[in-house]
């Protein structure tokens, strides 16, 4: 089992600073924890109901920091890593719900080393193309729904004339 420890005050402050910049602090609470091993330097996760109960904090977001990697870089890089991870967090005020996750790109390092900006641009284009297809499908579904409602309304209106 992983052993977690609370991050130092300067890291906690950095997490809260980023949360404030993103407008998240009014909707949720944050706690930064060090992890002994990780595949990513900073990750975010919604705390479980039990963790929220035990900490007496509702809507708790845990920011997991791989301390060994984090300590090797300057403050600007630390800020950027935390910011990148926390950009995935959003609050849907209509549904009163916290969402974690957003469209991401993935580029193999060897491919990036060869093509650099073009590799990133192509990965972004892939995401944008998929989003366009999804938007088009959603519009088509709405159009069909509207047509069906109009047909139903027309049939219902015609029935009154026949009676």
H/E segment holding residue 129: helix 117-162
Cα separation, 63 vs 19, in Å, equals 11
DSSP structural state of residue 43: E
For residue range 71-115, list pLDDT tens digits in order.
Answer: 999 999 999 999 999 999 988 888 888 888 887 888 889 989 999
pLDDT value of position 1:
47
What the block records as the tokens of 137 is: 């499908």
For the chain, give every domain's residue range.
Answer: 1-102, 103-163
* pTM of the predicted structure, to 2 decimals: 0.72
Short-list 86, 71, 93, 75, CA closest to 18: 86
Q: Report, as an integer, the average pLDDT of 110-124.
A: 92
DSSP structural state of residue 116: T
Q: Count each helix (H run) and each strand (E run) in the chain, helices first.
A: 6, 6
Short-list 12, 42, 50, CA closest to 30: 12
Best CATH choice for the domain 1-102 from the list 3.40.720, 3.30.2010, 3.90.550, 3.30.70: 3.30.2010
pLDDT value of position 157:
65
pLDDT value of position 154:
74
Confidence grade of residue 20 (pLDDT, cut at 50, 70, 90): very high
Cα separation, 45 vs 60, in Å, equals 9
What burial letters (b/e) apply to 3-42, b meaning 16+ CB within 10 Å? eeeebeeebbebbbebbeeeebeebbbbbbbbbeebeebb
Angle, CA 143 vertex, CA 142 and CA 147 arms, to 5°: 115
Asked if residue 120 lies in contact with residue 112, where contact means CB atoms within 8 angstroms, the answer is yes
Q: Report, as an integer, the average pLDDT of 59-75.
A: 93
């Amino acid at each position: 089992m992983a052993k977690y420890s609370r991050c130092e005050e300067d890291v906690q402050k950095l997490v809260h600073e980023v949360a404030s910049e993103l407008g998240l602090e009014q909707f949720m609470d944050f706690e930064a924890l060090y992890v002994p091993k990780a595949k990513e330097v900073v990750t975010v996760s919604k705390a479980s109901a039990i963790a929220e109960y035990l900490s007496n904090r509702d809507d708790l977001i845990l920011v997991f920091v791989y301390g060994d990697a984090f300590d090797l870089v300057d403050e600007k890089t630390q800020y950027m890593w935390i910011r990148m991870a926390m950009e995935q967090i959003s609050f849907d005020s209509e549904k009163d719900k916290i969402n974690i996750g957003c469209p991401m790109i993935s580029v193999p390092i060897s491919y990036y080393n060869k093509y650099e900006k073009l590799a990133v641009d192509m990965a972004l284009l892939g995401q944008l193309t998929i989003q366009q297809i999804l938007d088009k499908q959603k519009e088509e579904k709405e159009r069909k729904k509207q047509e069906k409602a109009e047909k139903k309304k027309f049939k219902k209106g015609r029935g009154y004339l026949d009676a």
